[in-house]
Amino acid sequence: MCYAIPGKVVEIKKNIALIDYYGEKRKVLNENREVRIGDYIYAQGGIILNKIPEKEALEILDFWREKFQELKKIDKKISKINKTESSENLLKILQRVNKNQELTKEEMSYILNINNENELKLLYETANNQRQKHNDNACCVHGIIEFSNYCKNNCHYCGIRRDSKVERYRMSPEEIIKTAENAVKNLGFKALVLQSGEDFYYDEEKLTQIVKELKKLEILIFLSIGVRSKKTYANLYEAGARAILMRFETSNKELFEKLRPETNFEERISLIKYLKEIGYVVATGFLIGLPNETENDAINNILLTKKLDADMYSLGPFIPCIGTPLEKSSLVNKDKVLKIIALSRLTNLDAKILVTTALETLDKKTKKLGLLSGGNSLMINVTPKKYKELYSIYPNKAGTKNEVEEEIKSTLDLLYSLGRAPTDLGI
Ligand code: SAH
Ligand code: SF4
């Protein structure tokens, strides 16, 4: 996890650099041959983005020094575990987590079935405590640009599926670049996700051109564009993309292929593995509460995310969407989502776990609760307002009516109140 403040390079071993943030050391990938020990750099997603002049770095570090320590103190205090009455069973499971032992499927099942208030409280507090112990207070806040809602696929759950009668839009490469420049230069983002339906109007050439332009902004570029050929992804890596966001959606192959007609489970999994192998930072995960999903599926979803060696877990509730084959499905309960976030944390102490916008659709408070149940990443939508509402993968998406500046302010207020350091937006 990196901070959005300059770090000092204190060691370089091959392509791995050790970075010091006010005494706290983090390992990052260094692809820049000009970086030397003693230099100041910005890093994101575990990758060095750029060098910055010493004078500028020291000024920024001076400015943030006190705030940095103050936030850590608040987080440490909030993430303590309060004594609560709990069953022997749960205590035993949580002790095993404490000793870094892997949970069995039976133990995972026990956790998913908790519904006693005290035990839920203890579960969430333990997950938050482990998050703090293993990741400290850094919280990624990436920007996301939803650049096209055209899609060749017909996923049963999705509001922009091919058969949906929604107004379609595509942002031109120039518009995407302008939006990104604004997000970086005026709003302060250091990592941007480019997301769309599976829209082959943006062919390899167009995508390469966009990625090359964005690379000039010295940011971490995430792609969330669905299945493309391995060659295209390898070329986009060459062009400067360094991360992908691609959920496997469900670990149940039968359910996957039923809900995502004309697509193939193994192909998606093999692509995610390949992308990890060639060096992409991988964000992957699943939908929570798809119709006919069993408890065993939910457990396998968590285990598969870990097996894929996800750098970031992206998991969120399935929100039934009018006009889709699943419009009449029931909405998943908030505690089920929080239990899955907490369990993901207990089974992967070091991962970044994204608290997705869909969670806020369930209930305004869930963003905060997600951050207090093991979550430590967020995204802010920086898509131009005229397109935001058209990217309607599910209804009542939080934040679509707000100006991005308001979203940033409320996110920063929330993070600071919890003692978290937003890694893209100052500190
Ligand atoms: N087309 C790309 C990326 C855009 S869709 C892809 O499918 O990978 C991004 C995510 O939206 C999907 O991964 C899916 O998990 C989520 N999504 C789609 N419909 C949803 C719904 N009804 N509720 C919640 N999330 C949904
Ligand atoms: Fe297309 Fe992605 Fe929606 Fe499926 S989930 S229909 S691939 S945008």
Does one domain contain both 272 and 373? yes
Q: Is 425 a domain residue?
A: no
Considering only CA atoms, which of 309, 310, 322 is closest in space to residue 284? 310
Please tell me what DSSP assigns to residue 249: B
Gyration radius of the chain's alpha carbons:
21
Q: Is 102 a domain residue?
A: no
Element (H, E) at 54: helix 54-78
Between the CA of 293 and the centroid of ligand 1 the distance, in Å, is: 17
Does one domain contain both 265 and 349? yes
Structure tokens at 286: 């699943």
- CATH value at residue 404: 3.20.20.70
| Any atom of ligand 1 within 6 Å of the Cβ of 226 | yes
Does one domain contain both 246 and 317? yes
Mutate to test the pocket of ligand 2, among 156, 169, 198 (most ligand atoms within 8 A of CB): 198
Structure tokens at 79: 């993430």
| Any atom of ligand 1 within 6 Å of the Cβ of 288 | no
Q: Is 112 a domain residue?
A: no
Q: Is 1 a domain residue?
A: no
| Any atom of ligand 1 within 6 Å of the Cβ of 287 | yes
Q: What single letter denotes the amino acid at residue 351?
A: A
Does one domain contain both 37 and 168? no
- Domain end position, chosen among 78, 95, 119: 78
Band of the pLDDT at 427, cuts 50, 70, 90?
Answer: very low
Question: Residue 293 in contact with residue 257, Cβ under 8 Å?
Answer: no
Exposure on the CB side of residue 28, measured as CA atoms within 13 A: 29
**Crossing angle between the packed helical segments 265-277 and 230-239, to the nearest 10 degrees:** 30
- Domain end position, chosen among 37, 62, 78: 78
Does one domain contain both 61 and 151? no
Q: Whose CA is nearest to atom 1 of ligand 1?
A: 197
Q: How many domains does the chain have?
A: 2
Q: Is the pLDDT of residue 114 over 70?
A: yes
Does one domain contain both 41 and 179? no
Does one domain contain both 163 and 62? no
| Any atom of ligand 2 within 6 Å of the Cβ of 160 | yes
Does one domain contain both 281 and 380? yes
Q: Is 91 a domain residue?
A: no
- CATH value at residue 27: 2.30.30.140
Does one domain contain both 57 and 144? no
- Domain end position, chosen among 56, 78, 100: 78
Does one domain contain both 167 and 244? yes
pLDDT at 419: 96
Does one domain contain both 70 and 168? no
Q: Is 384 a domain residue?
A: yes
- pLDDT tens track for 341-378: 999 999 999 999 999 888 888 888 889 999 999 999 99
Average pLDDT over residues 228-237: 98
Domain hosting residue 255, numbered range: 134-417
Q: Is 369 a domain residue?
A: yes
Average pLDDT over residues 269-293: 97
Q: Is 93 a domain residue?
A: no
Query: Residue 15, Cβ neighbours under 10 Å: how many?
Result: 12
Q: Is the pLDDT of residue 42 over 70?
A: yes
Between the CA of 149 and the centroid of ligand 2 the distance, in Å, is: 9
Does one domain contain both 402 and 263? yes
Q: Is 123 helix (H, G, I), strand (E, B) or coil?
A: helix
- pLDDT tens track for 121-174: 999 999 999 999 999 999 999 999 999 999 999 999 999 999 999 999 999 999
Q: Where are the alpha helices (DSSP H) in 113-172?
A: 117-135
pLDDT at 425: 52
Q: Across-strand partners of 146?
A: 195
| Any atom of ligand 2 within 6 Å of the Cβ of 151 | yes
| Any atom of ligand 2 within 6 Å of the Cβ of 226 | yes
Between the CA of 226 and the centroid of ligand 2 the distance, in Å, is: 8
Structure tokens at 268: 């998606």
Average pLDDT over residues 287-296: 97
